[in-house]
Amino acid sequence: SRIQRRLDRMLNSSHDHKLLALVDVEGFVPKEVTVTVKDGKVKVLAEHEEEHTTTRGKVYSYKNITKEISLPPGVSEDEVTYSL
């Protein structure tokens, strides 16, 4: 499948690094995604807020993703890299 090929390509492109996690943040723009590394954990937070004006007034929609991934033993926090 197309998705699997894309995953394979991503995995191959980081062959010298261990891939810790893939987080699907489709529907979010990069500035809505925050990644922090603290206390041996990687936290991914994505928040998206929309405001629509309808005939009945303003309608807000909000969606978010939070994911927390523990670093494997022996991996230091400053070794962690991420890309969107």
In tens, the pLDDT along 33-67 reads: 999 999 999 999 999 999 999 999 999 999 999 99
- 19: confidence class by pLDDT, cuts 50, 70, 90: confident
Name the pTM for this structure. 0.67
Domain boundaries, the chain: 2-73
CA distance 31 to 44: 12
CA distance 21 to 19: 6
| Fold exhibited by the domain 2-73 | Immunoglobulin-like (2.60.40)
- 7: confidence class by pLDDT, cuts 50, 70, 90: low
Of 1-10, 14-23, 27-36, 60-69, the range with the lowest mean pLDDT is 1-10
CA distance 48 to 28: 6
Give residue 15's pLDDT. 46
